[in-house]
Chain A
């Protein structure tokens, strides 16, 4: 049933069916009356059957009317009034009612013993009867709806109470004795019902937001509706000889008090509504203004979120500001660095207008005078002389703030003195906040983009740095090299490389630039270049390091230094020649024995050639097949755990001694596992490099063969 009422197509079908059926019933009733009363000249009361038939037809027609009203009201239940709905409904009601009453007045007839005497009376009385019941049903629908608006279902008990009132009044009217008690009771019921209805129609908040013209239409509509409803009530209640009253009594005997009561109550409801509209009338201007303010701020807010276009934002701000404040123009001026003034979003402002204003120092001072939004209601008063600036008679300045700095002003002006007030300042302050949000958001987005770019550059830098290292392990019948480098940040200052001495021997350098990150990485790249140059002429590890120090010492910032070790695999002497420039000791794993070598030497960049060269030592370490030379940077021994405890070189030695390592890769993996276990919960704080070289020595090998060791990885392109 409810579903049927909700579905508009079904509702329409049912309504049409009801209308057709009601029309048929009406014609049937008309025919019965004409045949029985006029054709056969019978009287009411002669045949119980005919009387019953007429009554049943009447009640069926009234029921159909009620049904039609229910169908019309149902979809609106639970929703609020709309001004258009109320106005059109009440107007239709009033016009129909007045027409009915007019017809009743211009066609007087008198019905004796409840029997119409002529054809005209039959037709008119039926029309008036149905008409009165129709308008009453419609008014009842309105009443029912009005009593439901803004109330919970439980609170709708008021409907029952009103219905009980109507039933009680009807009951009283059926008592034939005209005792004073019954009359007083009926009047009391009228009064209490009216009070109940008047007090139950409340929460007409929808009225507040209506513009004045709409309210005026509502006032006239409800006023005439109430008058019409009251006219029907008084006709039915007090004028029992009128055609209208007689028609109602003919149509449904002894029932005229019911439409009378309903029209009275409807009239009260309409009057109550009229009162509410009149009460809400004075707010109209304020409400209109507030709703415009809210609408404009919402619009700005959306724009702030959606656009990144400054011009679009500023032109919208100025347009809305001028419109809502009823101002005559607006602009946003932005103060660039070195006092450059930019005008944005001029609204109703001539191009040269702002320039003219800014040649007026007084105006400039006014705009910049205050860091809070403020209004000058009368420019004359503010300047103490009769001289409005270029027609600006009242003006509001709203500072535009970005990052806590005054970066501009939103200017809104009126050509009318006292044309702008504190209320406008309040709104424009909110506008200023929106501009601030926009600028903030814009800045964050820009910063975000810059950050993204930086991240991207870091990734590129990292891959470039990795490409500065040997691309693949060096492996031949002399050496098997395995290495790893892990920067603490995206890039780092660690470096290792294979070198190819002029004497044909292969060597390996490992280095660690002091510091971390980009500065260290830049020096690392410089170092690579220096190594490539120096190795072409270097006689051995120590000579290479001396050359590097001589080249780099003067070109490094004070406080930056490079520690470095260089090993040269010397064949056929079965030794490794080692020089160390302040670097961590070199380890040689020989079975279960691990030896640590640290010949003297200053870090590169600490001292000039005289001191550096004199200090630097070079040692030869005998090696055997299967020995592994381990070069690391201090990121290994100094790897800290959560307690800031360093791993320590002694632990590294111990681990290598206790683990049965046979390949270069074994050594690197063992150390990485140890480092991982030691510092599991902490991120590495320093760059970390391990280079392990497993040596093979053959005393029978001819020296030329060793010279042909492929070490092309570091050859100069």
Chain B
């Protein structure tokens, strides 16, 4: 038997400071990770590599879900951008924390802080 169906959705909004905020909802696991991958691909294709991921509505994240950020981070940073993670619930943060993600990613309590953590856009 497989785990129960995991409803998951993403929505992207353009924020100030030339960032895109991707908001996650529901369960992010091996089944739903491709949805997020597609979304990040789409945002990158649109020319934006300053990404904030809003975890406020994310209920659960699995190892495969975490892997998504690892897939993109090198490419994004190579282009001078970054992926910042924001507004995690404690249970979700624990997962990131255990793996040592705080060493690799900027993780902020709120989306605004994440947006502001990006250097001022130089109009590149």
Which residues of A are in contact with B by a Cβ distance under 8 Å? 512, 514-516, 558-561, 563, 582-585, 598, 600-603, 606-607, 611, 615, 634, 640, 644, 646, 682-683, 685-686
Known: A598-B98, A611-B104. A682 touches B67 (CB 8 A): no
Known: A582-B99, A600-B100, A685-B3. A559 touches B71 (CB 8 A): yes
Are B67 and A560 neighbours in the complex by a CB distance under 8 Å?
yes
In the assembled complex, the CB of A641 is this many whole angstroms from the nearest CB of chain B, namely: 11
Q: Say whether B64 faces chain A, with CB atoms less than 8 Å apart.
A: yes
7 closest residue pairs by CB, A with B: A559-B67, A602-B100, A514-B63, A683-B1, A685-B3, A582-B99, A559-B71
A602 proximity list for chain B (CB < 8 A): 99-100, 103-104
A598 proximity list for chain B (CB < 8 A): 98
A606 proximity list for chain B (CB < 8 A): 70, 99-101, 104
Closest residue of chain B to A562, judged by CB? B63
Task: List 17 additional contacts besides A514-B67, A607-B100, A611-B104; criterion CB under 8 Å.
Answer: A514-B63, A515-B64, A559-B70, A560-B67, A582-B98, A585-B98, A600-B100, A601-B100, A602-B100, A606-B70, A606-B99, A606-B100, A607-B103, A611-B103, A640-B3, A644-B4, A683-B1
In the assembled complex, the CB of A319 is this many whole angstroms from the nearest CB of chain B, namely: 50
Interface centre among B1, B68, B98 (most CB of A within 10 A): B98
In the assembled complex, the CB of A519 is this many whole angstroms from the nearest CB of chain B, namely: 10
B63 proximity list for chain A (CB < 8 A): 512, 514-515, 561, 634
Interface string of B1-38 (1 = CB under 8 A from A): 11110000000000000000000000000100000000
The complex places the Cα of A560 from the Cα of B30 at a distance, in Å, of 12
Q: Say whether B66 faces chain A, with CB atoms less than 8 Å apart.
A: yes
Q: Say whether B60 faces chain A, with CB atoms less than 8 Å apart.
A: yes
A585 proximity list for chain B (CB < 8 A): 98
The complex places the Cα of A162 from the Cα of B4 at a distance, in Å, of 79
Q: Say whether B113 faces chain A, with CB atoms less than 8 Å apart.
A: no
Closest residue of chain A to B59, judged by CB? A644
In the assembled complex, the CB of A549 is this many whole angstroms from the nearest CB of chain B, namely: 11
Q: Say whether B41 faces chain A, with CB atoms less than 8 Å apart.
A: no
A600 proximity list for chain B (CB < 8 A): 100
Closest residue of chain A to B67, judged by CB? A559
In the assembled complex, the CB of A648 is this many whole angstroms from the nearest CB of chain B, namely: 9
Known: A607-B104, A644-B60. A561 touches B67 (CB 8 A): yes
B3 proximity list for chain A (CB < 8 A): 640, 682-683, 685
Are B98 and A563 neighbours in the complex by a CB distance under 8 Å?
yes
Give how many A-B residue pairs fall within 8 Å (CB-CB): 68
Q: List 18 A-B contacts (CB under 8 A).
A: A514-B64, A514-B66, A514-B67, A515-B64, A558-B71, A563-B99, A600-B100, A602-B104, A606-B99, A606-B100, A606-B104, A607-B100, A607-B103, A615-B103, A644-B60, A682-B3, A683-B2, A685-B3
The complex places the Cα of A375 from the Cα of B86 at a distance, in Å, of 69
B66 proximity list for chain A (CB < 8 A): 514, 561
Interface string of B59-85 (1 = CB under 8 A from A): 010111011101100100000000000
A686 proximity list for chain B (CB < 8 A): 62
The complex places the Cα of A434 from the Cα of B96 at a distance, in Å, of 59
A560 proximity list for chain B (CB < 8 A): 67
Interface centre among A560, A563, A606, A615 (most CB of B within 10 A): A606
The complex places the Cα of A561 from the Cα of B98 at a distance, in Å, of 13
The complex places the Cα of A646 from the Cα of B91 at a distance, in Å, of 10
Closest residue of chain B to A580, judged by CB? B98
In the assembled complex, the CB of B44 is this many whole angstroms from the nearest CB of chain A, namely: 14
In the assembled complex, the CB of A636 is this many whole angstroms from the nearest CB of chain B, namely: 13
Are A515 and B103 neighbours in the complex by a CB distance under 8 Å?
no
In the assembled complex, the CB of A634 is this many whole angstroms from the nearest CB of chain B, namely: 8
A559 proximity list for chain B (CB < 8 A): 64, 67-68, 70-71
Closest residue of chain B to A563, judged by CB? B99
Contact pick for B99, options A515, A516, A561, CB 8 Å:
A561
The complex places the Cα of A682 from the Cα of B4 at a distance, in Å, of 9
The complex places the Cα of A585 from the Cα of B97 at a distance, in Å, of 12
The complex places the Cα of A690 from the Cα of B82 at a distance, in Å, of 38
B60 proximity list for chain A (CB < 8 A): 644
In the assembled complex, the CB of A548 is this many whole angstroms from the nearest CB of chain B, namely: 15
A683 proximity list for chain B (CB < 8 A): 1-3
Are A558 and B74 neighbours in the complex by a CB distance under 8 Å?
yes
Closest residue of chain B to A649, judged by CB? B94
A512 proximity list for chain B (CB < 8 A): 63
In the assembled complex, the CB of A701 is this many whole angstroms from the nearest CB of chain B, namely: 35
The complex places the Cα of A683 from the Cα of B66 at a distance, in Å, of 23
In the assembled complex, the CB of B2 is this many whole angstroms from the nearest CB of chain A, namely: 7
Interface centre among B2, B68, B103 (most CB of A within 10 A): B103
The complex places the Cα of A306 from the Cα of B93 at a distance, in Å, of 61
A514 proximity list for chain B (CB < 8 A): 63-64, 66-67
Interface centre among B30, B62, B68, B70 (most CB of A within 10 A): B70
In the assembled complex, the CB of B75 is this many whole angstroms from the nearest CB of chain A, namely: 9
The complex places the Cα of A172 from the Cα of B67 at a distance, in Å, of 111
The complex places the Cα of A196 from the Cα of B99 at a distance, in Å, of 100
Closest residue of chain B to A686, judged by CB? B62
B1 proximity list for chain A (CB < 8 A): 682-683
The complex places the Cα of A124 from the Cα of B67 at a distance, in Å, of 116
Known: A602-B104, A611-B103, A611-B104. A515 touches B98 (CB 8 A): no
A682 proximity list for chain B (CB < 8 A): 1, 3-4
B70 proximity list for chain A (CB < 8 A): 558-559, 561, 606
A582 proximity list for chain B (CB < 8 A): 98-100
Interface centre among A512, A558, A560, A634 (most CB of B within 10 A): A558
Closest residue of chain A to B63, judged by CB? A514
In the assembled complex, the CB of B37 is this many whole angstroms from the nearest CB of chain A, namely: 9
Closest residue of chain B to A514, judged by CB? B63
The complex places the Cα of A600 from the Cα of B71 at a distance, in Å, of 23
B100 proximity list for chain A (CB < 8 A): 582, 600-603, 606-607, 615
B67 proximity list for chain A (CB < 8 A): 514-515, 558-561
Interface centre among B64, B99, B100, B103 (most CB of A within 10 A): B100
In the assembled complex, the CB of A558 is this many whole angstroms from the nearest CB of chain B, namely: 5
